[in-house]
Amino acid sequence: MAEEQSPQFRTSIGGQALIEGILMRGPGKQAIVVRSPDGLVVKEEEITLTRDKYPILGLPVIRGAVTFIDSMVRGVKALMFSADYFPEDELVQPSKFDLWVEKHFSDEKAQKLITVLAVILSLGMTIGLFFLLPTFLAGFVDPYIKSAAVHNLVESVIKLAIFFAYMLLVSQQKDIQRVFQYHGAEHKTIFCYEAGLPLTVENCRIQKRFHPRCGTSFLFVVIIISVIISSLVFSFVEWRNLWVRFGMHLLLLIPIVGVAYEFNRYVGGHDTPVTRFLSRPGLWLQNFTTNEPDDSMLEVAIKAIKLVIPAEKGKDAW
């Protein structure tokens, strides 16, 4: 069957689910396609990655952190763009912050400010929830343990428990479930393109919705690598000092994200028994973050990917 085939070609094109839409990003271009109440809305733009401007930022490990921040900024902007076509109830009064921003900034500057704040809040929540909170909670058992290894084990268990609980909670939110359907449409469309099949709804529908280069898999790898690196490093620092542990977590963020990126890059670009085994946990987690899309969602994904496929065949090879 087509959905069991392992494509020989792997594309660097990736995407992100939006509010009733999809962002697709190719090697030199990105496209946002949103199904608004008035029909499809399309936004295309040429892109130049930060690491392409400054070659040193393209070095292994470093490029992972740079790519992560770059993708987060572009993703927040795309989400804001899609949200504009589905405004909140007009009866809802704007907040004091909204009124303050509207008064002191032009539309362009206000958008930049909100984007920066959204990225900072997203990073803060990720760091706080998956790195600092487990360290804080693990501190409550410190009086009862005498080994850094036991502390690291407790903190690791708490970290994984928080991660899985977060995934489960988010997957149950009704407002998010349609976004996760678009997430599934994105994956199916990329699989169809990699298989060399015509980009039609029928061909995309039969593809798998779990993709090895998904952001969900990346986040899980970040958590696992943070567990491994933290366990090694905390054996040589004052692990009972909460502030020392907080500081070490922050210092280790860039290498952790960088190593996770290189891991996903390697696993996503190779098809061997080992890489298939290593990718299984991340693929399983996509049960929480992808849902089966309907045909209208696949149409959006197909439109988006067609806009970013480079004219030069193979330029987007992984």
Which stretch of 10-24, 93-107, 141-155, 219-233 has the lowest confidence by average pLDDT? Answer: 93-107
What's the CA gap between 199 and 203, in Å, rounded?
7
Q: How confident is the model at residue 120 (pLDDT cuts 50, 70, 90)?
A: confident
- Phi, psi dihedrals of residue 292, rounded to the nearest 5°: -65, 125
Residue 32 β-bridge partners: 23, 43
Taking the C-alpha atoms of residue 286 and residue 276, their distance in angstroms, rounded to an integer, is 15
Query: Across 122-126, 269-273, 300-304, which has the greatest mean pLDDT?
Result: 300-304
**pLDDT tops 50 at residue 160:** yes
Tell me the CA distances in angstroms from 269 to 183, 213, 275, one per residue in order. Answer: 21, 9, 9
Tell me what pLDDT residue 6 has. 46
pTM, two decimals, is: 0.84
> What average pLDDT does range 190-215 have in this prediction?
93
Extract the tokens encoding 42.
């399309």
Compute the 3-state secondary structure of the chain and give helix, strand, coil in percent, each to the nearest 5.
65, 10, 25
pLDDT mean across residues, the chain: 85
Residue-level pLDDT at 88: 59
Q: Give 87's DSSP letter.
A: P
CA distance 278 to 237: 30
pLDDT of res. 201: 97
- pLDDT band at residue 1 under the 50/70/90 scheme: very low
Comparing 109 with 17, the larger pLDDT belongs to: 17
The pLDDT-based confidence of 295 (bands split at 50, 70, 90) is very high
The mean per-residue pLDDT over the stretch 188-216 comes to: 93
Specify which residues 18 forms β-bridges with.
21
pLDDT given for residue 107 in this prediction: 66
Do 15 and 186 contact (CB within 8 A), yes or no? yes
222-227: average pLDDT:
89
What's the number of CA atoms in the CB half-sphere (13 Å) around residue 223?
26
pLDDT one-digit tens code per residue, 162-184? 999 998 998 888 889 999 999 99
Structure tokens at 79: 């989400």
Q: What is the pLDDT of residues 236-251, one digit of tens each?
A: 877 788 888 889 888 8
